[in-house]
Amino acid sequence: MKLAGKVAIITGAGSGMGADEARMFAAEGAKVVITDIVGDACRKVAAEIGESAIAIEHDVADEAGWSRVVATALAQFGKIDILVNNAGLTKSDTFDNTDVAFMRRMLDVNIIGSFLGMKAVRGPMKDNGGGAIINIASGLAFTSLPGYFAYGVSKWGVRGMTRLGAKELAPDNIRVVTLTPGAIETPSLVPAVRENAATMIPMGRVGGADEFARVVVFIASDDASYVSGAEFLIDGAMIC
């Protein structure tokens, strides 16, 4: 019960890693607010978990929606200890094929969405004596892979937001950490990565969403009370 008594918001938790994190958070004693742009998906995960979870349909790029998410979390569970900015747009394309509309949407979801989340929980976390914000980046924020122009730029931005946010929020005991998945088994994993894992990944396999979620639990918990501004790669030694 590493998260007993904690209240967490996890975005994009209707699928993949976010859904696994929601299940593991609840199993570790947390109350969980599960949000996703796909309402049916987050409602299904919340229903599976039971009374420790509620679902809210929400596009992370929607600022007014963030007020609703925070107000509902406070009304239902009384405080906010943890935010996992997990929701992400994972579309790939080259620089030449990236138009302004695609670039704007990518930055809106992957950077502005996480920024709005940090802004929205900052007050309640301060009032509560602190908290933990976990931003999910990507291995593509540690390298420059052609064909992932907008996505790569957005995830490099996530790393910067963690570092700057960690310094400014530390006086209020709000920790900000970047967790970086390499190749994790979820619906958005590119099939070629799974097929070539034996040669592409030093550990010879993709990671399980549960293996990633266990790290999220640790960073969200009081065991990591002096960890802030840090970046962790969960990638089977792919980038090092």
Active site residues: 151
Show contacts with ligand NAD in window 81-120 (CB under 6 A): 86-90, 109, 113
Our finding on whether 69 is near ligand NAD (CB under 6 A) is no
From the CB of 62, what's the least distance to ligand NAD, in Å?
8
| Secondary-structure breakdown of the chain: helix, strand, coil percentages, each rounded to the nearest 5 | 50, 15, 35
Our finding on whether 14 is near ligand NAD (CB under 6 A) is yes
The residue (of 1 and 190) whose beta carbon lies closer to ligand NAD is 190
The residue (of 128 and 220) whose beta carbon lies closer to ligand NAD is 220
Taking the CA atoms of residue 94, residue 63, residue 184 and residue 150 in that order, the dihedral angle to the nearest 10 degrees is: 10
CA distance 115 to 170: 16
The residue (of 97 and 188) whose beta carbon lies closer to ligand NAD is 188
Site residue total, ligand NAD (CB under 6 A): 30
The residue (of 12 and 131) whose beta carbon lies closer to ligand NAD is 12
Q: How many CA atoms lie within 13 A of 212 on its CB side?
A: 29
Give the residue, chosen from 117, 131, 165, 181, that forms a contact with ligand NAD under the rule CB under 6 A.
181
Give the residue, chosen from 106, 136, 169, 215, that forms a contact with ligand NAD under the rule CB under 6 A.
136
Give the residue, chosen from 22, 49, 176, 183, that forms a contact with ligand NAD under the rule CB under 6 A.
183
Rg (CA), the chain: 17
Contact (CB, 8 A) for 135 and 158: yes
CA distances (Å), origin 169, targets 3, 43, 111, 157, 194: 22, 32, 18, 18, 38
Q: Which residues of 18-49 are buried (b: 16+ CB within 10 A; e: fewer)?
A: bbbbbbbbbebebbbbbbbbeeebbbbbbeeb
Our finding on whether 37 is near ligand NAD (CB under 6 A) is yes
Give the residue, chosen from 128, 135, 138, 162, that forms a contact with ligand NAD under the rule CB under 6 A.
138
The residue (of 34 and 166) whose beta carbon lies closer to ligand NAD is 34
What are the DSSP calls for 101-128, one per residue? HHHHHHHIIIIIHHHHHHHHHHHHHHHT
Residues forming contacts to ligand NAD in the complex (CB under 6 A) are 11-12, 14-18, 36-38, 41, 59-61, 86-90, 109, 113, 136, 138, 181, 183-184, 186-189
